[in-house]
């Protein structure tokens, strides 16, 4: 905080009551308490600069306006839609998966009314919220499933139920950290289980797992490496080997799949990502995955697998603390129904993956043509899938590379785009602003064009 000048003369500052009478303040159509609080804050700010004659004079002149701005700022919702021009499809900082039209419709219908969330309409009696996803999930995955708040919660709950006070065997090559401080060893410790590391960072064999098993062992854990890749001299047992070891020893195999992919991504020209159904079919006892990564639904964590384990996990008292609300069930149900109907293109994330470089080139060329007077060109680039999918998961794309107007830096354009009326998040490279239309939703294209024109003029 700046030092208050010893010569500060606070008498130059008006009183709260005087500011309240300022026409710019008196005409504000906000509750008095909000306005008074804003006046106090503005005056407190001014007290810090009272020694510096000039800035005080300037700010005194626009005191009323400043109070208005402050009240408006606090009553403007801070969570806003953003245009993602980065080409990172599952951008965790930008809210991961945008929802499908049917998911949005479901959320609107459920949000403003009572619902049968936990009421069995046929029986006229209390029901379970689980039913709203259970049948869809079981049909899609081939196994019973339950839903919690996110995948971190799902792993926690699985280990809390199946491994508390016992040991969990994990390969040293899978002790990963994902963004925002999610570390497998830490979650494992908080679940009450003890970590039993086996193998080395790059190589773990099935014998390593076998040798680590003792009378304290409760779970064999497998984790999708998500945001990093081990290449070169590597070895990892197959899922089948791990499941076989589980059978021989009577231990459940739990797999954290991360992204929760339900379709074959090679159809989009991507490397194959493990699918949930494959793990279930391979005999994994419990798989966990996110709802808002490749699945393209709401933030949620899904646990699926053998009926007895899922039933035990469902009975764990922590389930109550980690369960999801009606809006999540509404969105998840609608998203899963799209999968069941094979309407993959209705799911925005999958529609983005399915766009070819040529289709994006078309969109980019049209956009550029509409930006009269903005200098730019089309360039080949790569879109990143992100969201904890395999790091090598990239798709060829066409970038719109825009040169800043004369006398302005690309960084300034990038900042103006980001802080404008409709925030646009883009990248800067070689003094150009790069726009990847793969992640710009079709109905955002005209707002994007408006924003570009505004910033460039």
| Shortest CB 378 distance to ligand PLP, Å | 33
Q: In the complex with ligand PLP, which residue's Cβ is closer, 151 or 355?
A: 151
Size of the site for ligand PLP (CB under 6 A): 14
Degrees, nearest 5: CA angle 347-351-353: 120
User: How far is it, in rounded angstroms, from Cα 70 to Cα 42?
Assistant: 8
The one segment of 21-29, 157-165, 195-203, 255-263 that binds ligand PLP by CB under 6 A: 255-263
Q: In the complex with ligand PLP, which residue's Cβ is closer, 26 or 392?
A: 392
User: How far is it, in rounded angstroms, from Cα 296 to Cα 90?
Assistant: 9
The single residue among 388, 413, 432, 455 that binds ligand PLP, judged by CB under 6 A, is: 388
Q: In the complex with ligand PLP, which residue's Cβ is closer, 347 or 435?
A: 347
User: How far is it, in rounded angstroms, from Cα 444 to Cα 400?
Assistant: 16
Smallest CA-to-CA distance from 147 within 363, 310, 285, 22 is with 310
Residue 435 DSSP SS3: strand
CA 281 to chain centre: 28
Q: In the complex with ligand PLP, which residue's Cβ is closer, 110 or 259?
A: 259
| Shortest CB 221 distance to ligand PLP, Å | 11
Q: In the complex with ligand PLP, which residue's Cβ is closer, 64 or 258?
A: 258
| Shortest CB 46 distance to ligand PLP, Å | 44
Q: In the complex with ligand PLP, which residue's Cβ is closer, 174 or 436?
A: 174
| Shortest CB 196 distance to ligand PLP, Å | 19
Q: In the complex with ligand PLP, which residue's Cβ is closer, 173 or 258?
A: 258
DSSP-derived secondary structure for 136-190: HHHHHHSS-EEEES-HHHHHHHHHHHHHTTSEEEEEGGG--EETTTEEHHHHHHH
Task: Give kind and range of the element (H or E) at residue 401.
Answer: strand 394-402
User: How far is it, in rounded angstroms, from Cα 261 to Cα 325?
Assistant: 23
The one segment of 40-48, 109-117, 253-261, 315-323 that binds ligand PLP by CB under 6 A: 253-261
Q: Is 256 in the site for ligand PLP (CB under 6 A)?
A: yes
| Shortest CB 288 distance to ligand PLP, Å | 8
C-alpha gyration radius of the chain:
27
With beta carbons less than 8 A apart as the criterion, state whether 330 and 110 touch. Answer: yes
Q: In the complex with ligand PLP, which residue's Cβ is closer, 86 or 149?
A: 149
| Shortest CB 182 distance to ligand PLP, Å | 5
Q: In the complex with ligand PLP, which residue's Cβ is closer, 145 or 455?
A: 145
Q: Is 444 in the site for ligand PLP (CB under 6 A)?
A: no
Q: Is 290 in the site for ligand PLP (CB under 6 A)?
A: yes
| Shortest CB 259 distance to ligand PLP, Å | 6
Residue 400 DSSP SS3: strand
Q: Which residues, 93 to 152, sit near ligand PLP by CB under 6 A?
A: 150-152
Q: Which residues, 186 to 245, sit near ligand PLP by CB under 6 A?
A: 223-224, 226
DSSP-derived secondary structure for 226-250: TT----SS-B---HHHHHHHHHHHT
- Structure-block tokens of residue 105: 């419709």
With beta carbons less than 8 A apart as the criterion, state whether 140 and 340 touch. Answer: yes
113-129 exposure pattern, b = at least 16 Cβ within 10 A, e = fewer: eebeeeeeeeeeeebeb
| Shortest CB 291 distance to ligand PLP, Å | 7
Interface residues toward ligand PLP, by CB under 6 A = 150-152, 178, 182, 223-224, 226, 256, 258-259, 290, 301, 388
């Amino acid at each position: 905080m700046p030092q208050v000048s010893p010569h500060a003369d606070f008498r130059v500052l008006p009183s709260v009551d005087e500011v309240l009478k300022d026409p710019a303040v008196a005409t504000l159509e906000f509750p008095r308490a909000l306005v008074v609080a804003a006046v106090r804050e503005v005056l407190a700010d001014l007290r810090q600069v009272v020694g510096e004659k000039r800035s005080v004079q300037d700010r005194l002149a626009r005191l009323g306006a400043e109070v208005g701005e402050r009240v408006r700022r606090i009553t403007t919702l801070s969570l806003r839609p953003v245009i993602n021009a980065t080409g990172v499809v599952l951008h965790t900082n930008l809210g991961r998966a945008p929802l499908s039209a049917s998911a949005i419709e479901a959320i609107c219908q459920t949000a403003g009314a009572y619902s049968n969330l936990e009421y069995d309409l046929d029986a006229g009696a209390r029901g379970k919220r689980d039913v709203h996803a259970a049948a869809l999930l079981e049909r899609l995955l081939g196994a019973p499933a339950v839903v919690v708040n996110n995948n971190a919660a799902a792993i926690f709950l699985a280990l809390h139920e199946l491994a508390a006070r016992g040991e969990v065997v994990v390969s040293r090559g899978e002790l990963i950290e994902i963004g925002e401080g999610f570390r497998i060893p830490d979650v494992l410790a908080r679940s009450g289980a003890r970590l039993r590391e086996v193998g080395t960072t790059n190589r773990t064999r099935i014998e390593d797992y076998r040798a680590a098993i003792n009378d304290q062992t409760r779970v064999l854990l497998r984790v999708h490496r998500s945001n990093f890749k081990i290449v070169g001299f590597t070895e990892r047992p197959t899922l089948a080997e791990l499941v076989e070891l589980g059978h021989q020893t009577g231990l459940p195999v739990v797999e954290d799949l991360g992204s929760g992919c339900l379709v074959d991504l090679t159809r989009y020209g991507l490397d194959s990502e493990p699918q949930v159904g494959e793990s279930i079919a391979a005999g994994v006892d419990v798989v966990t995955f996110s709802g808002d990564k490749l699945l393209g639904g709401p933030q949620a964590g899904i646990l699926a697998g053998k009926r007895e384990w899922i039933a035990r996990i469902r009975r764990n008292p922590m389930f109550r603390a980690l369960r999801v609300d009606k809006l999540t069930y509404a969105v998840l149900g609608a998203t899963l129904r799209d999968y069941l109907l094979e309407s993959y293109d209705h799911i925005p994330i999958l529609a983005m993956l399915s766009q070819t470089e040529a289709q994006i080139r078309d969109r980019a060329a049209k956009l550029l043509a509409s930006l009269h007077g903005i200098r730019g060109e089309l360039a080949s680039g790569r879109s990143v899938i992100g969201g904890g999918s395999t790091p090598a998961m990239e798709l060829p794309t066409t970038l719109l590379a825009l040169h800043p107007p004369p006398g302005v830096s690309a960084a300034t354009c990038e900042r103006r785009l980001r802080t404008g009326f409709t925030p646009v998040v883009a990248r800067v490279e070689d003094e150009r602003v790069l726009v990847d239309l793969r992640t710009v939703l079709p109905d955002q294209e005209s707002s994007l064009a408006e924003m570009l024109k505004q910033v460039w003029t």
